[in-house]
Chain A
Amino acid sequence: MRINKLTISMSPHNHGNQSVKKIMYGVIIAMLPALAVSIYYFGLDVIKINLIAIASCICIEWLVQKFLLKGKTTITDGSAVITGMLLAFNLPSNLPWWIIVIGAVVAIGIGKMTFGGLGNNPFNPALVGRVFLLISFPVQMTSWPVAKVIDFTFTDATTGATPLAIIKEGLKNGKGISELMEGLPEYTDMFMGHMGGSLGEISAIALIIGGIFMLFRKIISWHIPVAILCSVAIFTGILHGINPEQYASPVFHLLSGGLILGAIFMATDMVTSPMTGKGMLIYGVGIGVITVLIRTYGSYPEGVSFAILMMNAVVPLINNWTKPKRFGEIIKN
């Protein structure tokens, strides 16, 4: 039989089973445990906020691609969904819908599409949106509903501060850590997620489950989360050792705020993190140190978002500095 049409192409003629879509949907699956815990503690508001954030992120990406760039639209690749979810994870559950939409516009419109869309953005889009909102709407962004077990109603929950904010405020008013800790949830509660905070950041256990899933699927490597968590633990451990009344314990720092969410889901964003293991470690340690500096000496109680954005900015330098060792490299004397 004569074959009429043969495909001619250069090798390799087979392809591994990975695709961008698979990676993106893997991340989304990994975020589901944290989402579930969030719904458990904050109620159906969580779903509402997630839907608003995801829908507006997708819409804005589509609008920009369709009418500004006039190119093909890639909203199905899942990256806008992740940005939307991550943005929602970083918001308090009682935020008005229009603020979320503004956040999405900034995240996708400015944080991502301005630079050329997926893969070209130097900063994590969700964090760009989140920090923009934090600076523009400081009151709404920091009034956190108190976590309580689900009652399946849309309620105007009572609001309270996060553990980090309580510590910061207390220290400013001259109280000691041991006194302040009494008013805070137990570590086990914090580990499970029973505390005030943004939607997705409260439950360490759920986030870690997601992280292990991503490690297993090879979506992330261990370097960045481990570097961040270890550097925070060591740095706060030293400070705590110097003056336990002035500085909270490492365990408190690890479990509070958005540290674990940031370490596992946001700092590990492939696009905005270094490529080599060595580079990832440097990047992770940088994030850890800056986070602790902001938390203990800065005016904000929480610093993970700022730390990640700052380290995002130096990723190209890190990449340039930590080139892989070439095979058979000749060392010049």
Chain B
Amino acid sequence: MLKTFSKGGVHPKENKISTGCKITQIEVPKQACIFVSQHIGAPAEPIVTKGDFVKVGQIIAKAKGFVSANIHSSVSGTVVKIDKAIDVNGYKQTAIFIDTDGDQWLDTIDKSDEIKFDFQNKEIEEIKAKITESGLVGSGGATFPTHVKISIPEGKVCEHLIINAVECEPYLTADHQLMLEHPEEIMIGCKLVQKITRAKKVLIGIENNKQDAVKLLSEVAKKYPDIEVFALKVKYPQGAEKQLIKSLVNREVPSGKLPIEVGCVVQNVGTIFSIYEAVMKNKPFFERVVTVTGKSLTKQSNILARIGTPINLLIEAAGGIPENTGKIIGGGPMMGKALVNEFVPVTKGTSGILLMPKNQSTRPQSCNCIRCGKCMQACPMGLEPYLLKNLSVLGMFEEMQTEHVLDCVECGCCSFTCPAGIPLLDHIRLGKATVNKMLRDKK
């Protein structure tokens, strides 16, 4: 029996049509647009001004506070302006625009393909400093600064370091391909993080629809003590942090608490690879693998893209925007964000670009709730989406709080499964935001 989480979950069509597409590089964009806020927490503060010449990997905005992350230039060239641009969420955010001129990397970065194995010589403090410096954030999509996540609070012990290689979102294959092409690097990354967190065991969780990756990583992991690879039953949202912990070590993170409460630290496999690059290769986080996919796209791709590249360049590389495109999604279909146009730049959290044809871009028509309870069966957090939706419509936000609305992970299982086509999650998000505001106001 394959491991999985017990409560709720759905199984959307996997549609991993870009499976097996090699990670390719595309041309450096003529102009990069790099947001100063690509993570959860305070936006970074720009330290360059108009006219400055920057190199690839040079820091251009500094973290402001602990929960924040440095931003590095992904191209070499001249800063032309610091201005507002529309981000993935559709909001205007401060961004640094750099006109590209050649491709000059910082000398400190090791550009070679050679794998560096001497991770044992690295001191804990050195690793930590490198991770903080390199502006790493969780590359699964939540973009929580990595250095915060690996800091174990006083009095807590990290037993298990869990590597999230689940990639439970339909369509996305970036992590899968990364694992196939860079298994050694990932193992070294795991060892580095294990060193800082002092975790006894490293558990890598991969969904069973990526058997080649399970096989390969299991093989490579034999060389590294304490690293174990697990195949997990295919079920969405297994890649959600709390669900993954439940699947792998059968512990439930208490409501409102962090994974360290049950002795776990979770890292995305993409982040682990970036950690390897940051520590062993001195390479800050300025490029990432992005899946570019869609049923009517001619060339499915996994592209190693510089952060700040407008996504239309990625789509060009994948064969251009098909005529019937009705929606462009940054991320996967379950949790991704619909983009306002095709010029939104790649950010640290962009795991994929998904083009939906027009006939799949709109939601089903909704009708009355028939109280079938399918949303409750689907909710991995054990909430009652139908009830939360009703409370939200009635404006009963205090009651929503007592119904644990803040536990919602916004996985979308409820809306996905609802036969009446009710956008449950929309109402729940509204409630969640209002409850959060109420709590802030109370302080």
Contact = CB atoms under 8 A, between A and B. Distances in A.
Given A20-B419, A23-B419, A328-B252, A7 B326 contact: yes
Nearest to B331: A11
Given A1-B321, A11-B425, A330-B254, A6 B362 contact: no
B325 interface: yes
Interface stretch (B19-27, B284-292, B365-373): B365-373
B412 interface: yes
A330 to B, nearest CB: 5
B368 A120 contact: yes
Nearest to A272: B371
A118 B384 CA distance: 20
Interface majority SS on B: helix, strand, loop or mixed? loop
A16 interface: yes
Contacts of B256: 330
A15 B421 contact: yes
Given A327-B407, A328-B254, A13 B338 contact: yes
A325 B367 CA distance: 28
B381 A327 contact: yes
Interface stretch (B58-66, B68-76, B215-223, B339-347): B339-347
Interface string A111-141: 0000011111000000000000000000000
A22 B419 CA distance: 9
A161 interface: no
Contact of B416 (A16, A116, A327): A16
A10 to B, nearest CB: 5
B331 to A, nearest CB: 8
B172 to A, nearest CB: 13
A12 B360 CA distance: 12
Contact of B370 (A12, A116, A271, A274): A271
A330 B339 CA distance: 38
Interface in B388-420: 404, 407, 410, 412, 415-420
Contact of A7 (B327, B331, B386, B415): B327
B335 interface: yes
Shortest Cβ-Cβ A-B pairs, 7 listed: A275-B373, A12-B412, A119-B368, A18-B419, A7-B361, A270-B372, A328-B252
Interface of A: 1, 3, 5-16, 18-20, 22-23, 74, 77, 116-120, 270-272, 274-276, 323-330
13 contacts: A3-B328, A3-B342, A7-B338, A11-B331, A13-B354, A20-B419, A20-B420, A23-B370, A119-B369, A271-B370, A275-B384, A323-B384, A327-B407
Given A20-B370, A119-B368, A324-B379, 9 more contacts: A6-B325, A12-B415, A15-B363, A118-B367, A119-B371, A119-B420, A276-B373, A326-B255, A328-B381
